[in-house]
Amino acid sequence: MKTVIEERWGTHPDDVKRYDTAQLRKEFLVEKLFEADSVLMTYTHNDRLIIGGALPVKEALKLETVDLIRSEYFCERRELGIICIEGEGVVTVDGKDYSMGFKDAVYVGRGSKEVIFKSNDAAKPAKYYFASSPAHKEYPTAQITSAMRRTRDLGVPATSNERLLNQIILSEIVPCCQLQMGMTEIKEGSVWNTMPPHTHSRRMEAYFYFKVPAQQAVCHFMGQPQETRHIFMGDEQAVISPSWSIHSAAGTSNYTFIWAMCGENLDYDDMDTFTADKLR
C-alpha cells in the first residue's frame, strides 16, 4: 500500500484577492483523493483538518500516521470520520468490524490505535472519504446507521436549490470533539448548494464533490462575500474553505458533496448568512 500526504498553508483574505486562477487552485483545490491500494491525504493548517480517501482493491489499507502530525499512531491526538461513497466493505477499528455501504459512516474516537479499510469485492471496491481533526477528549468509536442520520429537505425548484441534507457526524448524533460531517444530495433539476451562502468565523470547512457526471463540472464559490472567487471542479475533488470564506456552488448537473467542519464550536447553525444580492 501507499500513503501520500500534501500540506496546505493558511491564507489571509487580503492575499487571496491577488491570486490568479493557478494560485487559487494550488492553495485550495484538492484534485486527487483516490488511487488504487493507496491512502491519499491533504493536511491544511486551517484548524489542522486532514481530508483524504482510501481505495482498497487488492489489499486492505491501514491508516498510517505521517510525519506531519508526529504521533505514534494516526488517532493518538485526533478524531476521525469515515463515510463510504461507493461499493461495499468493512472498516476495522482496533479489531472491531463495521460493515460499510453507501452513506454508512464510522466515527473513530481519539486514542484508537488501528484503522483498516477493506473492500468486499475487488471488482467493485469500496471508496472511503475521511476527515480528521485534533481532539482534546476521547469519545467512543461508533457506527452511524441510517436510522441515526438526520435529514432535512432544503430549497425549492423555483430557485434551483432543492437538496437533501444528511447530517451524519454531529454531537447530537454521536459524542465528538470538533469534527462534524454530512452529505448533501442535489436533486435532479437543481444545481445550487448552500444558497444563500454563509461564513462561520468559529470553524472552517472542506467540501468534497462527487457523483459529478462525465464532462460536467461544479463551480465552487469562495472568498469574502464582497470579494468572491470561483474554482471549477470535477468529480471526486475537494476544496478547502477557510473560516472567512463563503462556500457555495452551482453545477452543470446535479451532484453530491460531503462537508466536513472543525473549529471553535459544535453549533451547526452558528453561521453568518448573506443573501445573493449582497454578494460581489
**Position of cell 442520520?**
149
Q: Is 211 helix (H, G, I), strand (E, B) or coil?
A: coil
The annotation places the binding site for Zn(2+) at 198, 200, 205, 247
Which of 192, 211, 191 is closest to 253 using CA atoms? 191
pLDDT single digits (tens) 115-144: 999 999 999 999 999 999 999 999 999 999
Q: What is the pLDDT of residues 155-175, one digit of tens each?
A: 999 999 999 999 999 999 999
Choose among 38, 87, 98, 43: nearest CA to 69.
43
What pLDDT shows up at residue 201? 86
Task: Give which of 79, 278, 252, 42 is closest to 171, Cα–Cα.
Answer: 79
In the three-class reduction of DSSP (H, G, I as helix; E, B as strand; rest coil), residue 24 is classed as: helix
Q: What are phi and psi of 157, to 5 degrees?
A: -60, -30
Cell of 204: 472552517
Q: Are 228 and 220 in contact (CB under 8 A)?
A: no
| Distance in Å from the first CA to the final CA of the chain | 46
- Distance CA(140)–CA(113), nearest Å, equals 13
pTM of full prediction above 0.85? yes
3-state secondary structure of 99: strand
Helix (H, G, I), strand (E, B) or coil at 28: helix
Spans of all domains in the chain: 2-278
CATH number of 2-278: 2.60.120.10
Extract the annotated binding site.
198, 200, 205, 247
Over its C-alpha atoms, the chain yields an Rg (Å, rounded) of 18
For the segment 19-60, what is each residue's pLDDT rounded down to a tens digit? 999 999 999 999 999 999 999 999 999 999 999 999 999 999
CB 227 within 8 A of CB 17: yes
**Exposure string over 105-126, b if 16+ CB within 10 A, otherwise e:** bbbbbbbbeebbbbbeeeeebb
Distance of alpha carbon 44 from alpha carbon 26, whole angstroms: 12
Instruction: Name the more confident of 271 and 17.
Output: 17
DSSP conformation letters of 224-272? ETTEEEEEEE-TTEEEEE-TTS--EEEESS--EEEEEEEES---TT--E
- Could you report the per-residue pLDDT of 183-231, keeping only the tens digit for each? 999 999 999 999 888 888 889 999 999 999 999 999 999 999 999 999 9
